[in-house]
A and B are shown apart, each in its own frame.
Chain A
Amino acid sequence: LAKTTQPISMDSYEGQEVNITCSHNNIATNDYITWYQQFPSQGPRFIIQGYKTKVTNEVASLFIPADRKSSTLSLPRVSLSDTAVYYCLVGDRSSGYSTLTFGKGTMLLVSP
């Protein structure tokens, strides 16, 4: 299971774009990169997933460089309600992979 490293915390203001980078230097060929969002007292919520290049959905964009050793979650024009912890996970579905391991995540605080 590839280990991930993310900043412990980030601060932003409403309306700004926020980029959270995750390092995963030992990512394997079959691994996907997945991001979750967690609000206090709630379970994490799946945001976005990608394998390479760029993925965009209604919530965020995920940028993955060619070497796939890092990834960046981009949140456009954040609001106060985007204050949450964001987790980066790396793993695959082959070979009976079954554990879903969360690290410390990045605490994003959005201020007015």
Chain B
Amino acid sequence: EADIYQTPRYLVIGTGKKITLECSQTMGHDKMYWYQQDPGMELHLIHYSYGVNSTEKGDLSSESTVSRIRTEHFPLTLESARPSHTSQYLCASIPAGTVLEAFFGQGTRLTVV
């Protein structure tokens, strides 16, 4: 079983606050992804990374930013949270040499009030 961790699991925060959602994996995977998903809706890719110092925007326009300074960590930051950012955020990683065999974290449920 893969080890990919997201913290916090739940977060309620006020409008205008800066927040960072953490994602860590201990498997040495190069490819990592962030998704946004509202209840009952599709997963939308918002950022991905091929490896250290590599980040790309995904299909869904997002006001968030990401960084990849270390292989294990792929944090997502919202500089100024808004109620429209309320959603579930899911992090995933893929082992090298595999095809679409991603491992997902448990997710962070963010509520901006």
Residues of A within 8 A of B (CB): 32, 34, 36, 40-46, 49, 89, 91-93, 96, 98-105
User: What is the interface of chain A mostly: helix, strand, loop, or mixed?
Assistant: loop
A99 touches B48 (CB 8 A): yes
A41 in contact with B102 given A100-B33, A100-B94 (CB within 8 Å)? no
A101 touches B45 (CB 8 A): yes
Residues of B within 8 A of A (CB): 31, 33, 35, 39, 42-43, 45, 48, 50, 56, 58-59, 88, 90-92, 94, 97-107, 109
Contacts of A32 in B (CB 8 A): 99-100
Identify which of B58, B92, B94 contacts A43 (C-beta below 8 A). Answer: B92
Contacts of A41 in B (CB 8 A): 88, 107, 109
